[in-house]
Amino acid sequence: MKYKRILLKLSGEALMGKKNYGIDTEVLMQYANEIKVVVEQGVELAIVIGGGNIYRGVEAAATGIDRVQGDYMGMLATVINGMALQSALESVGLYTRLLSGINIEQVCEPYIKRRAIRHLEKGRIVIFGAGTGNPYFTTDTAASLRAIEIEAQAVLKGTRVDGIYTADPEKDTTATKYNHISFKDVYEKKLNIMDMTAFTLCEENHLPIIVFDMNKKGNLLALVNGEEVGTLVK
């Protein structure tokens, strides 16, 4: 396998499936089975999942809710998604730990770097909830930060699109896909794949990002086996 330890970033919206909000259990179980195949190959896997299917702090600010308050509400949404994913993973026979950036002792462990790494070494899937534990930071930034801390070899960003394109392929039929692209080119072409803080963290720490379609069966396994899937940013 090309990667021994990876961090998988999933959006909260991905869990909605065909729903307008909330969690689609079919999508949840599909992800759990895809992840199981990879973990059984010996890959150490950590996951950061967003909360956009339940709540977004940035959008809440536009309705008059205080931005900091809204961001903390968004963090709690990521914990809800993390608990749902944890339950799905354990239902297919996997061992997991949910670690949170804010203390919620009844449902998850507090985030401690050494503890997270030890869980990974024991073959447990580590799910990071509540982002960084601080307002004004997205789950993209949390994914980059946690990946660097646990010394992951890559950040895999699972989306509903099969990579990075010259334009939004859902809106522009002439958009073409990049198989490889540099951090510098992403800056210059203003391609929006992550927020700038998250992206800069990866660049400064020489951490590659792979954007791929998580909904296509077998993509995750092919990727960790070294096949060209999605778009590699390095």
What is d(CA 121, CA 118) in angstroms, rounded to the nearest whole number? 5
Quote the pLDDT of residue 156: 96
Q: How far is CA 203 from CA 96, 112, 183, in A?
A: 29, 24, 7
3-state secondary structure of 77: helix
Where do the structural domains in the chain lie, given as residue ranges? 5-233
Question: Residue 27 carries which side chain, given as an amino acid letter?
Answer: V
Confidence class of residue 120 from pLDDT cuts 50, 70 and 90? very high
What is d(CA 108, CA 88) in angstroms, rounded to the nearest whole number? 16
pLDDT at 44 over 90: yes
The whole-number average pLDDT for the span 180-209 is 92
pLDDT at 201 over 80: yes
Choice between 71 and 171, residue whose per-residue pLDDT is larger = 71
3-state secondary structure of 209: strand
Q: How many helices (H) does the chain have, and how many strands (E)?
A: 8, 11
Choice between 54 and 80, residue whose per-residue pLDDT is larger = 80
Confidence class of residue 49 from pLDDT cuts 50, 70 and 90? very high
* Architecture in CATH of 5-233: 3-Layer(aba) Sandwich (3.40)
pLDDT at 56 over 80: no
